[in-house]
Amino acid sequence: MKTILKTAVLFFCLSYSQMVVSQNTAIDSLGRVLRVTKTDTAKVNVYNHLAFEFKESHVDSSFYYASKAVSLARKIQYTNGLANGLVNQGNIAIISGDYIMAKKNFTQAITLFQNLLKNDEKNKNFKNGLARSFASLGVIFSQESNYYAALENYQKALQLYLETNQKNSLSKAYNNIGVVYKSQGNNLKALEYFQKALKIQEQTGEQTVSVTLTNIGVIYFEQNNSAKALQYYNKAEKFFKTINNLRGQALLNNYFGDYYQKQNDSEKAIAYYNKALTMYESIQNKFGASLALYNLGQLYRDQKKYAEAMTYAQKSLAYAKEIGVLDQTYHSEKLVSELYGYLNNPSASLEHYKNYIVARDSITNQENNKKFVQAEMNFEYQKKAALLAEQNKRQTQFTIFSILGAILFIGLIFLIYNRRQVKRRLTLQKEVAEYEQKALHLQMNPHFVFNCLGSISSFIVQNGTDSALKYLSKFSKLMRLTLEYSKGSLIPIDKEIESLQNYLELEQLRFHNKFDFTIQSSDTVEFNMGIPPLLIQPFVENAILHGLVPKESKGKIEVVFNVENGQLVCTITDDGIGVSKSKQMKENSMQAHKSMALEITKKRLEIMEATISKSAQIDIQEIENNNEITGTKVTLRLPVQYIQ
């Protein structure tokens, strides 16, 4: 359920809270303006303002006015009004859980605002509209756990808000980016951006300070600092009482419920979860309602009140299916299956367990399908663009040839021919290098899988069924990440870190906590930096098998990512027996196993150097202390590459 709690906070990102009295006054004022407005463009603007004002308090009215704005703007061809209307409709769709429609609306709005800026590139209203579209699109990607795309859109919005000096919107963008980092488990980065947002909010007196206070409280809660979390929750609650932001209040009540559940105060936890549920249902937010129902179902299950728990769990599942949120469906199906088991209904339990498996697989397959469709669309676009470019080129050449005559015609034909030959030769060379890189990468995949399967086999023999199932579950997660990113030449660094985290946890289980480990990434490492997949894992594996396992005492591995002198530097340090002693002890079969991984990795780095013309190096050194070998340090210096 941790994933749902992380993504649920993203609803805060859409909050543009106003004082209750101020909002009602604004709505009344806009209503009077609408009655006397005669110009169609002015009517569109008023409709959009009303849609915006009603968004927090009455979703149906907001959708009505947004639709009126879009319809009239299309009729009179008022592009700015149409774009703003689409943004309003998209935000309403997010509240209703219709992410497909919301994404469609924001994408159309982005195109319209970009076209407007081509004719008036300094217009602040157009820039702010475009920024709002990017930020809202980022919310959807965050909900879909596509954090790279979410950060990309938030950064675009942030740049535009900086250009227009929109401090209120800047604070929201900082808050959104912080939420994404929190969802990735990077609490230090998240706290950095939340503090940036809080600083602006305190300067400007924004009411959205309650959002930031809540988010900071969540970080402390997840760090098991319950006292600090409650302090920030209480501050946020005071601000929420002065504004009209039911979604924010509802989610805060959910967090209060989590807090009191952790304190084993079931009565207060149930009360807060019910408050959250009431608020969510009053604003027709089925995603949030499904979350609150799920929490109540879990709580009653833990109290062994299975019948009551089933009522909440089934309603949570119904909402999740209605709005098509796979992640919530996945968790709710599992809870319903468990409850039917407790209620001695094995057939229903099995049916919902099957649905849970289907939802789990769908989450994986959905991401793969999206990538395939996107690749197909890119191919068609590139093919059409290439065809159009070729047609234009031929027309230009024909005009030049007609004017210059036969001699110039022959010269141009010769020049074009030579250029094409050079381009073809360079293209072939690049493709050969890429295919060699992919061939070597494909050698790494079976090497990695065989090692993991060997580990699982020995672990099953040593530890029995229960421990083996836990090991297999972690292996399944690791393999899903490996397969998902194994086809690309680069993967985001955070995904490489996630894979290493899972792999090291597997090896900890296998070797009975024979070692501890840490993985660190410095602030100089940017979120969109890339690294070849499965490049670090062989060195970590060698450190465990040849350095720490032969050691009598408990060991430690440290993996650190940093940027130094324009290079991405990764160091793998262990306090094992060292390279020399390992060679003496494992001179035959284990050395062959190690050499294969190192040779493949060295060849991959050689091809990378040849392809991008930048240095890539490996340095393996033994660590000495008072003339005694105390470990091994592997340093990889790679060219900084960014994922486009």
Strands 617-625 and 641-642: unpaired
User: Is the per-residue pLDDT at 530 higher than 70?
Assistant: yes
The SS3 of residue 324 is: coil
- Given 177, 206, 235, the domain boundary residue is 206
Any domain includes 334: no
Any domain includes 155: yes
What tokens were used for 523?
Answer: 């602030």
pTM for this one? 0.43
Residue 123 CB contacts under 8 Å (≥ 6 apart), including other chains: 116, 117
- Given 164, 179, 206, the domain boundary residue is 206
Q: What is the pLDDT of residues 388-442, one digit of tens each?
A: 567 767 777 777 767 777 788 887 888 888 888 777 775 665 555 455 545 545 5
Any domain includes 195: yes
In the chain, the number of structural domains is 2
Any domain includes 328: no
CATH classification of the domain holding 595: 3.30.565.10
Q: Which helix (H) or strand (E) holds 570?
A: strand 567-574
| pLDDT at position 247 | 85
| pLDDT at position 588 | 53
Q: What is the pLDDT of residues 281-330, one digit of tens each?
A: 888 888 888 889 999 999 999 999 999 999 999 999 998 888 888 888 88
Any domain includes 122: yes
Q: What is the pLDDT of residues 1-11, one digit of tens each?
A: 444 433 334 33
- Given 170, 188, 206, the domain boundary residue is 206
Displacement of CA 148 from its chain's centroid (Å): 5
Any domain includes 360: no
Q: Which residue stretches of 166-305 are H helix?
A: 167-183, 187-204, 209-222, 226-240, 246-262, 266-282, 286-302
Any domain includes 305: no
Any domain includes 343: no
What tokens were used for 290?
Answer: 């499904």
Domain that holds residue 166: 1-206
CATH classification of the domain holding 33: 1.25.40.10
Residue 410 CB contacts under 8 Å (≥ 6 apart), including other chains: none
